[in-house]
Amino acid sequence: MGHPFPIREIARQAGLSEATVDRVLNGRGGVRESTAREVRRAIADLHRQRTQVRLVGRTFMVDIVMQAPERFTTAIRAALEAELPSLHPAVLRSRFHFRETGPVGELVRTLDRIARRGSQGVILKAPDVPEVTAAVGRLEAAGIPVVTLVTDLPASARLAYVGIDDRAAGATAAYLMGQWLGDRPGNILTSLSSGFFRNEEEREMGFRGGMRARHPERTLVEIAEGQGLDATQYDLVRAALERDPDIRAVYSIGGGNIATLRAFEDLGRECAVFIAHDLDHDNTRLLREHRLSAVLHHDLRQDVREACHTVMRAHDALPPAGPTLPSAIQVVTPYNMPPQATAV
């Protein structure tokens, strides 16, 4: 009966004497079949609990590095803190490196400081540019696994990507937009926070492809580089509305939705359909007020948990798992908001 456990540990698990366990393991006889089953059951239980045994007393220091608006990083911090109890008996400690915008060089310097100082993992949301890709390579060379969250760096040495299939999300938005606009005329504003985030680029391609296939008569008007920040977003949206009097719907890929709606209101324009991403604090309120048509959402707690588990697997603290599957895309309307969102 092959097993990796000491006899003393099996005996304690089975509630039997070490001598009895020894007789069963070595087939010496003199024990009832029910006792042998108890020993086999104890070994099976220990196998199942082996992961927990490996985790007892383990502390993982993980760096969370993100370029995103404050409303999103706040949601990420809350998701991580809510998931920490599920990681027990391991202890996960986190260092947060959040910024809303700024030069790529500053972000690269943050990643290089982590590489020099050391870490057991980096969870990263960053622009897909060569400088960041190179910095991820230096982290990997230093033995620090990197997991990209929400937006990917596919050409980098990152260990895994955790998030939704963004092209499918964009296609879903196109399907909903076509259904809800129906035969009403009007152009559609697509809004990206930046052209350098892979997830936004994929969403835009999925949306554009879906609209081209189903509603080729619709004109798409793109704005970008608002960084998802209200101040810059307002100016971009207002300028687009003043240039094009036929815009009557919005697919918001990168956020800044309060500012977008304010620009419509200040110009006395109607937004007939407004589809956004992520149930952050702003979008939750706007959805509750029926100012958004729908939010394409994914469970951030599940994503953060999977990212942490991926880092732990890299240190052999959890059993190997198959490829990380895309997170489920949820279409949330004012009528099916998750309980945690309605409580905000």
Q: Tell me: do 254 and 305 sit in the same domain.
A: no
Give backbone dihedrals phi and psi of 279, rounded to 5 degrees, phi first: -90, 65
Residue 54's pLDDT is: 61
CATH number at residue 157: 3.40.50.2300
The vertex-202 CA angle with 197 and 204, nearest 5°, equals 100
CATH number at residue 37: 1.10.260
Longest dimension (CA), the chain: 92
What's the average model confidence in pLDDT over 283-292? 96
Residue among 104, 143, 100, 150 at smallest CA distance from 123: 150
114 within 8 A of 139, measured Cβ to Cβ: yes
Residue among 201, 212, 206, 198 at smallest CA distance from 173: 206
And the tokens for 198? Answer: 């892979």
* Statement: residue 287 has pLDDT above 50: yes
Instruction: Sort residue 227 into left (φ over 0), alpha (ψ -120 to 50) or beta.
Output: left
* Four-CA torsion 231, 233, 235, 237, nearest 10 degrees: -150
Q: What does 50-64 look like in DSSP terms, one character per residue? A: HHHHHHTT-EEEEEE
Q: Tell me: do 107 and 139 sit in the same domain.
A: yes
Q: Could you list the residue range(s) of the whole structural domain that residue 306 is in? A: 59-163+300-326
Say what the pTM is.
Answer: 0.80
Q: Tell me: do 147 and 237 sit in the same domain.
A: no
What's the average model confidence in pLDDT over 108-133? 95
Residue 276's pLDDT is: 97
> 1 lies in a domain?
no
Radius of gyration (Cα) for the chain, nearest Å?
26
> 112 lies in a domain?
yes
Check whether the bond before 89 is cis (ω within 30° of 0).
yes
Question: Can you tell me the distance from the alpha carbon of 214 to that of 229, in angstroms, rounded to the nearest whole number?
Answer: 32
* Four-CA torsion 67, 71, 73, 74, nearest 10 degrees: 160
Q: Tell me: do 130 and 212 sit in the same domain.
A: no
Q: Tell me: do 197 and 247 sit in the same domain.
A: yes
Residue 331's pLDDT is: 97
Which among 34, 55, 76 is the end of a domain? 55
What's the average model confidence in pLDDT over 194-222? 95
For residue 164, the cross-strand partners are 327
What's the average model confidence in pLDDT over 140-144? 97
Residue 128's pLDDT is: 96
What's the average model confidence in pLDDT over 214-227? 94
Q: How many domains is the chain partitioned into structurally?
A: 3
Q: Tell me: do 177 and 66 sit in the same domain.
A: no
What's the average model confidence in pLDDT over 226-239? 91
> 288 lies in a domain?
yes
Q: Tell me: do 214 and 247 sit in the same domain.
A: yes
> C-alpha distances in angstroms, 242 versus 100, 101, 117, 184, 239?
28, 27, 50, 20, 5
> 335 lies in a domain?
no
What's the average model confidence in pLDDT over 41-50? 74
140 within 8 A of 146, measured Cβ to Cβ: yes
- The percentage of the chain sitting over the pLDDT mark of 90, rounded to a whole number, equals 67
Q: Tell me: do 284 and 198 sit in the same domain.
A: yes
Question: Can you tell me the distance from the alpha carbon of 107 to that of 46, in angstroms, rounded to the nearest whole number?
Answer: 44
Q: Tell me: do 34 and 142 sit in the same domain.
A: no
